[in-house]
Amino acid sequence: MLRKTICLTAALVVAGALHTASAQTTTSGAKPSRVKLTMERLKEMKAKWSANRPKLRACRKEVKAKGLIGDDRWFFIEDCMDRS
């Protein structure tokens, strides 16, 4: 029983290390503006969008239909508001 526990623990540690390493390599190639959404940036985006409420409402409906959450939601709304 002890041997199984030790093997399982070692496997989880290795899997965690591999996951962390792969996560670090994926973010290095991303655009810096898309890596982390700061509160200041979010406030700026909301202030800009408040001028066009009907379009913002339509974009939010699209987000809800797609089921987006977190930063993905805000980046989608940003792209949607920039479209004509």
Q: CA-to-CA distance for 23 and 42, rounded, in angstroms?
A: 24
pTM of the model: 0.48
Q: What is the mean pLDDT of the chain?
A: 74
| Residues 12-36: tens digit of each pLDDT | 665 666 555 444 544 444 454 555 6
Per the CB < 8 A criterion, the answer to whether 29 and 36 are in contact is no
Residues in Cβ contact with 58 at an 8 Å cutoff, skipping those fewer than 6 apart: 80
Lowest-pLDDT choice from 5-14, 57-66, 67-76: 5-14
* pLDDT confidence of residue 15: 63
Domains of the chain, by residue range, sit at 1-30, 33-84
